[in-house]
Amino acid sequence: MKSLLLTRLLPTLTLTLAFVGALSAQPGSGGPGPGTPITPTPTDVPLDGGASLLLAGGVAYGLKRLRERRKKA
C-alpha cells in the first residue's frame, strides 16, 4: 500500500494540483460589459450531468480494480 501511494498516487496528485493552478491562472476574455445580456452561443455545452456520471464511473472502476488487486495478494 505504501509503495502504491508513493509511486502512483502522490505524483499524480502533485501533477494534477500543478495543472489546476496553472490553468486557473490563465487570463480570460473579460466577458461582456455590465449592461450586456449574456446569451448562450451554439457551441456552449452543458457538462454538469455527463461529467459527474463519468467521474462516478471512474471512481467505481478504480475501486473495483483495487478490490481485485487485494484479493490476488
Q: How far apart are CA 70 and CA 62, in angstroms?
A: 12
Question: Residue 8: what pLDDT?
Answer: 81
More confident call, 61 vs 3 = 61
Cβ(60)–Cβ(66) under 8 Å?
A: no
Read off the pLDDT of residues 4-55 as tens digits, 9 standing for 90 and up: 767 788 888 888 877 776 666 555 566 666 666 666 666 666 666 777 888 8
Question: Residue 12: what pLDDT?
Answer: 84
**pLDDT for 71 beyond 60:** yes
Give buried/exposed letters for 18-27 (b at 16+ CB in 10 A, else e): eeeeeeeeee
60: amino acid identity, one letter: A
